Amino acid sequence: MPTIIRCAVIQFPGSNCDTDCKAALASFPEIEAEIVWHKDTSLEGYDLIVLPGGFSYGDYLRCGSIARFSPIMGAVRHAASTGVLVLGICNGFQILCEAGLLPGTLMRNRGLLFRCEHQHLRVENNQTPFTSNLTLGSVVNFPIAHGEGSYFADPKTLAELNANNQIILLYADAAGTVSDSVNPNGSLENIAGICSHGRNVFGLMPHPERACDALLGGTDGRAIFQSVIDTFSQGKRA
Partner 1 sequence: MATQPANPAITPELIAKHGLSQEEYAKILTILGREPSFEELGVFSVMWSEHCSYKNSRPELRKFPTTGPSVLVKAGEENAGVIDIGDGWAVAFKIESHNHPSAVEPFQGAATGVGGIIRDIFTMGARPVFLMDSLRFGSIKGESEQARTNRRLFAGVVAGIAHYGNCIGLPTIAGEVYFDDSYNGNPLVNAFCLGILRHEQIARGAAKGVGNPVFYVGAETGRDGLAGAAFASRELTEESKADRPAVQVGDPFREKLLLEACLELLATDAVAGIQDMGAAGLTCSTCETASRGGTGVEIDIELVPQRAKGQTPYEVLLSESQERMLVIVNKGQEDVVKRIFEKWDLPYAEIGTVTDDGMMRVLNGSEVVVNVPARALADDGPLYYREAAPFTPPPPLDLSTVPQFPPLETLPILLAHPSIASKRWVWRQYDHMVRTGTAVLPGSDAAVFIVREANKILAASTDCNAIYCRLDPNQGARIAVAEAARNLASSGAVPIGVTDNLNFGNPHKPENFHQLRAAVEGISEGCRAFDVPVTGGNVSLYNESPAGAIDPTPTISMVGRIDDVAHITTQSFKEAGDILFLLGKIGDELGGSHYLLAIHGRKEGAPPALDFAEERKTHQVLLSLIHKGFVRSAHDCAEGGLAVTLAECCFGNLLGASVKIASTDRPDVLLFNETQGRIVISVKPCHVVSVEAALAQSGIPFQQLGTVTQQPVLGITTGDSTYQWSVTELNNHFESAIPSLMEG
Binding site for partner 1 (CB under 8 A): 13-14, 16-17, 19-20, 23-24, 39, 53-55, 57-60, 113-117, 143, 145, 147, 207, 209-210, 212-213, 215-217
One-character DSSP codes across 40-103: ----TT-SEEEE--B-GGGG-SSTTTTGGGSTHHHHHHHHHHTT-EEEEETHHHHHHHHTTSSS
- The residue (of 103 and 184) whose beta carbon lies closer to partner 1 is 184
> What CA–CA distance (Å, rounded) separates 111 from 64?
21
Contacts 24+ apart (CB under 8 A), 177-180: 178/122
Provide the minimum distance between the beta carbon of 169 and partner 1 in the complex, in angstroms, as a whole number. 18
* Residue 30 bears catalytic tag: no
User: What is the identity of the amino acid at 28?
Assistant: F
The active-site residue, picked from 38, 120, 146, 207, is 207
Catalytic-role residue among 90, 97, 195, 212: 90
Q: Quick one: 55 or 202, whose CB is closer to partner 1?
A: 55
- Catalytic status, residue 209: yes
CB 16, min distance to partner 1, A: 2
Residue 37's nearest CA partner among 65, 9, 64 is 9
Contact 147, 108 (CB under 8 A): yes
**Annotated catalytic, 90?**
yes
CB closer to partner 1, 95 vs 167? 95
Complex with partner 1: residue 22 or 199, whichever CB lies closer:
22
Smallest separation (angstroms) from partner 1 to the CB of 174: 13
Cite the beta strand spans of 101-195 per DSSP E. 105-107, 115-123, 139-146, 150-152, 167-171, 191-195
Query: Which residue type does 214 have?
Result: A
Q: How far apart are CA 25 and CA 52, in angstroms?
A: 12
Q: How far apart are CA 49 and CA 42, in angstroms?
A: 12
Residue among 58 and 137 whose Cβ is closer to partner 1: 58
Least distance to partner 1, CB of residue 53, Å: 8
| Identified catalytic residue from 7, 63, 209, 212 | 209
Q: How far is the CB of 213 from partner 1 (least distance, A)?
A: 7
Residue positions annotated with a catalytic role: 90, 207, 209
